[in-house]
Structure 1
Amino acid sequence: MSATHTDAGEPGFRITGWHVLAAVCAFFAVVIAVDASFTVMALRTFPGQVSVTPYEDGLLYNQRIAQEEAQAKLGWRAAAEVAPGLVVLTVQDAAGRPLRGLTVTGRLERPATESGRRTPRFIETAPGRYEGATSAIEGAWDLTAEAVDAAGRRFVAERRLTWR
């Protein structure tokens, strides 16, 4: 014969439907609170506005396409590199010859923000080689360089540069 012991007088803790409901509600409340805080932080750091004049940019889109087609017909090529305190731009024609006498302007911007924009002044230091002085900068920067020859032909090059 075996003896069994039951404590009918002491009920102990039991999980009821109310406990499960409270746990599920608490879980979703935490998820919603975290999502809301991440959304607020994201909107504060980047409001989503890429351009101050999006409508005008859209109107100029066809002009940009025409400029890119004209640039492709030129066959010019540009290479950009970095040196301490310098941006070096090398421009060649379709045959690989250096292009001399260009007026080169440029703009350096951070990839994620417009703060800290710089405009180096480019000077031709050798045939087809143009150097623009920058102050001591570090990290990744986007270069937009525009070269114009004496005939008014325009070439735009965009490159991502990294200083270490």
Structure 2
Amino acid sequence: MSATHSPAGAQTGFRVRGWHVLAGVSAFFALVIGVDAWFTVLALKTYPGQVSVTPYEDGLLYNKKIAQLEAQAKLGWRAAAEAQPGVVVLLVQDREGQPVAGLSVTGKLERPATEAGRRMLTFQRVAPGRYEATTGAIDGAWDLTADARDGQGRTFIAERRLTWR
């Protein structure tokens, strides 16, 4: 006959038993927990999550900026900036589209990705509502922050990205 039976007590090969399953599941979770712990340690060493050393003061400055923007919205002024060779042109208009004259305008140019090369600007009035500042020979993208104040103490801050080619 062709039936083959092993004698009693003889092993027929590997069999998965309960402790094998327990060891496999335990090893899997130990590996996952170990990798998670390793990534957590690496993340905390490279970036601890602290964005600012003065978070409270930064919050106060943020609230001040919000108040400035609300006052500026009530004022109704608008500004447009233009990059010309060696010059920044700032045009300021009121709510009705009329030029705003008699402003004292200062500003700064900064690179978008670095603080290197920051330039402070003093704008001169060349026509009603038109103010120009000399930049010198520059090229590429720059962020302009212009601060315009009138004789009554009202402030208008314009932020624009300008590109010289």
Q: TM-score range by the shorter chain?
A: 0.5 to 0.7
- TM-score between the two structures when normalised by the length of structure 2: 0.67
1:79-158 residue pairs with structure 2 within 5 A? 79-158=80-159
1:3-82 residue pairs with structure 2 within 5 A? 54-82=55-83
Distance 1:107 1:53, change over 3 A: farther
The CA RMSD over aligned residues, in Å, is: 2.1
Unaligned 5+ runs, structure 2? 1-45
Q: Which runs of 4+ in 1 moved over 6 A?
A: 48-52
* Amino-acid identity (%): 73
Distance 2:89 2:135 in 1: 11
For residues 18-77 of structure 1, the C-alpha deviation after alignment (integer angstroms, 9 at most, x for no partner) is xxxxxxxxxxxxxxxxxxxxxxxxx8xxxx998775542222211111110000001100
- TM-score between the two structures when normalised by the length of structure 1: 0.67
Q: Which amino acid in the other structure matches residue 113 of structure 2?
A: A
Q: Residue 121 of structure 2: SS of its match in structure 1?
A: coil
Bigger radius of gyration among the two? 2
What is the aligned residue count? 119
Distance 1:52 1:115 in 2: 22
Distance 1:100 1:140 in 2: 28
